[in-house]
Chains A and B, each alone.
Chain A
Amino acid sequence: MVNHAADIVVHWVQAGMATPWLVWLVITLMKCGAVVGVMMGMVAYTVLAERRFCAFIQDRLGPNRVGPFGLLQPVADGMKLFLKENVLPGHVNKVYYVLAPAITLFPALATIAVIPFGNRLGGEKMVIADLNVGILWVFSLAALGVYGIVLAGWASNSKYPFIGGVRSAAQLISYELAMGLSVIGVFMLAGSLNLGQVVEYQSHCWLVLKQPLGFLIFMVAMFAETNRTPFDLPEGEQELAAGYNTEYGSMKFALFFMGEYANMVVASAVMVTLFFGGWQVPFIPVEQWLGCSWLSGMVYIGCFLAKLAAFLFLFIWVRWTLPRFRYDQLMNLGWKVLLPLGLLNILLTALVLAGQR
């Protein structure tokens, strides 16, 4: 089917019906549709995977009734949330209350645009926007994600959501610094902020082997940025009901939920791209075996998705294995441990690079 679509485009260009600009537009729209479709599918099935794996970890079965192995459960969940009554509580600030869930989902959908998810497919680079400041785009949009949670907490006009929102703001700001510092080593080695070039740099050796400390800091910071256990204090059930989304229901609640899992997908994608070779297949020279064909392009995309799935599993595994931090422990870890370690990592990388000169 992909071949067929490509033939149509080629035929179109030869017939002189399409300007390069129009071709670019069509191809970009196709990429956007495919990426968002795959991402939302992953979000739906990560929710199912989370429920199933948490059940296995707790010696239960989990949702296994809808379809074979419960595989149609996300469809049932989606139907349920769509059909629920759309309640708007009387005591909320209506504008921000309605906007907040959308603001939470937006950064995840926008950051995926700069992630290279494959090498080439028919001569076309498999990334939506090949920015030369790729990682800064990711960080700046991730920084905007906090507004969704803070505004939700404030607009709900209710104390548990408010405390959840405030906790979240403090946590995200604290861990952004460690996150930013931890990847500087990567870019000192790769010599570019463009994510595609960072992946090219890793064709012989994954950066996790050269930057183990940087990866560790980055991973911990990512767990904190996605509000996942052991950093899920903004929605700590025992003390805050459900935290910032307590006052939400139906699809507005579903948007928060999708935002959390979409952020997990993006966090995994960034970790794979920066430290685990992106779409590169380890040890196997794919292009020697298959040639530069559509097939090898698809193999690269499959490899990227497999690595992504492994990280998503790690997120789930950690959530159901580790207990939550106390708030002072969380702040101490961020400011007194991860921040100095990030600076140390930069210093060590600089010393090694200077020594190699």
Chain B
Amino acid sequence: MTAALFYIMGLAMLGFGVAVITSRNPVNSAMSLVLLLAAMSGLFVLLGAFFLAAVQVLVYAGAIMVVFLFVIMFLGPDEGVRRRLHWFGAINGLLVVVALLYAFFTLAGKQPPMIGAEGRAGTVESLGRLLFSKYLLPFEVASVLLLVAIVGAVVLARKDARSS
């Protein structure tokens, strides 16, 4: 059952991923990305990471992608734009694929280290405890990083408003 669900979700992710980069209509791309994120949260559920699964849908699919869609709809880019192959992008993509394949094949035989209390790794309690004890510093650093990003966004938006 779990294996079957894993293959269904995995294939769905691959399919939607291809649809994101190949579809001509940007709205189709955005909606494929939403479905990809939903399938990915399904994978998190299979791993027992319920909190991560819920937050994945809430933050990425529910908030960030809505803003993406918002911008796409407002700008209404042309569907008929001819696609050119950028050599820089193609080489970079190829390098990433090779690196990922290498990582996959070297790590495939090894058991990943389990984090958190055994059997309860995905629950909100164990996640919260770890975030506020063992991983407090990285957690706070990430918060500061987000704060900087928010302040930066406000500054950019204000500058725009003054000049116009």
**Contacting pair B73 A136 (CB below 8 A):** no
Stretch at the interface among A45-53, A165-173, A284-292, A315-323: A165-173
Q: In the complex, A154 Cα to B69 Cα: how many Å?
A: 10
A193 at the interface (CB under 8 A from B): yes
With A132-B123, A150-B73, A166-B73 already in contact, the answer to whether A143 and B50 are too (CB < 8 A) is no
B87 interface residue (CB < 8 Å to A): no
Interface membership of B63, Cβ < 8 A: yes
A311 located at the interface, meaning its Cβ lies under 8 Å from any Cβ of chain B in the complex:
no
Bound Cα distance A35, B123 (Å) = 27
Is the pair B54, A136 in contact by a Cβ cutoff of 8 Å?
Answer: yes
The number of chain A residues with a CB under 8 A from chain B is 28
Asked whether, in the complex, the Cβ of B27 is within 8 Å of the Cβ of A96, the reply is yes
Give the distance in Å from the alpha carbon of A153 to the alpha carbon of B54 in the complex: 27
- Asked if B74 is at the interface of the complex by the 8 Å CB criterion, the answer is yes
Check if A173 sits within 8 Å of B67, measured CB to CB: yes
Residues 140-167 of A at the B interface (beta carbon under 8 Å): 140-144, 146-147, 150-151, 153-154, 162, 165-166
B70 within 8 A of A: yes
A93 and B123 CA atoms in complex are apart in Å by 42
Which residues of chain A are within 8 angstroms of B63 by Cβ–Cβ distance? 143, 173, 176
Q: Does any Cβ of B come within 8 Å of A133's Cβ?
A: yes
- The interface residues of chain A lying within 8 Å CB-to-CB of B124 are 132-133, 193
| Alpha-carbon distance A133/B124, docked complex (angstroms) | 7
Known interface pairs A144-B61, A147-B34. Does A170 touch B70 (Cβ–Cβ under 8 Å)? yes
> Is A139 a contact partner of B123 (Cβ separation < 8 A)?
no
Q: How far is the CB of A317 from chain B (nearest CB, A)?
A: 30
| A313 on the B face (CB < 8 A) | no
Asked if B152 is an interface residue, CB under 8 A from chain A, the answer is no
Q: Is B58 an interface residue (CB 8 A)?
A: yes
A166 and B70 contacting across the interface, CB-CB below 8 Å: yes
Majority SS at the chain A contact face? helix
Contacts of A253 in B (CB 8 A): none
A155 nearest CB neighbor, chain B only: B27
Q: Which residue of B lies closest to A172 (CB)?
A: B66
Residue pair A169, B62 in contact (C-beta under 8 Å): no
B151 at the interface (CB under 8 A from A): no
Neighbouring B residues of A154 by C-beta, 8 Å: 27, 69, 73
Contact A162 B55 (CB under 8 A): no
Question: How far is A144 from B54 in the complex, measured between Cα atoms in Å?
Answer: 12
Report B155 CB to chain A, min CB distance, Å.
17
The verdict on A150 contacting B58 (CB below 8 Å), with A131-B50, A173-B63 known, is: no
Other than the known A136-B54, A141-B57, A146-B66, what 18 A-B pairs have Cβ atoms closer than 8 Å?
A: A93-B27, A96-B27, A96-B31, A132-B123, A133-B51, A133-B124, A136-B55, A140-B55, A143-B62, A143-B63, A143-B66, A147-B31, A147-B69, A150-B69, A150-B70, A154-B73, A176-B63, A193-B124
List 11 A-B pairs, Cβ < 8 Å. A93-B27, A132-B123, A133-B54, A137-B54, A143-B61, A143-B63, A144-B61, A147-B66, A150-B66, A165-B73, A169-B69
Chain B residues within 8 Å of A, Cβ to Cβ: 27, 31, 34, 50-51, 54-55, 57-58, 61-63, 66-67, 69-70, 73-74, 123-124
Chain A residues proximal to chain B, CB less than 8 Å: 93, 96, 131-133, 136-137, 139-144, 146-147, 150-151, 153-154, 162, 165-166, 169-170, 172-173, 176, 193
